[in-house]
Amino acid sequence: MTKPEITGIRDLTFNQWIRDNLPNSSTGFAVTDIDFILFNYKTRKLMVVEVKTRNKIIETWQKIFYEDFHRWLKNGIDSGYHYRGAYLIRFENTSFNDGKCYITSFEKKITKQVSERGLIKFLSMEY
The overall average pLDDT reported for the chain is: 85
Q: Please count the other Cβ atoms lying within 10 Å of the Cβ belonging to residue 101.
A: 20
The residues, any chain, with a CB within 8 Å of residue 70's CB and separated by 6 or more, are 48, 85, 86, 106, 107
Question: What are the tens digits of pLDDT across the range 8-44?
Answer: 677 777 678 778 877 788 888 788 888 999 999 999 8
The mean per-residue pLDDT over the stretch 68-79 comes to 84
Cα–Cα distance for residue pair 111/47, rounded to 1 Å: 17
Q: What is the pLDDT confidence band of residue 2, given thresholds at 50, 70 and 90?
A: low
pTM of the model: 0.70
Residue spans of the domains in the chain: they are: 1-31, 33-123
The answer to whether residues 50 and 65 touch, using CB atoms and an 8 Å cutoff, is no
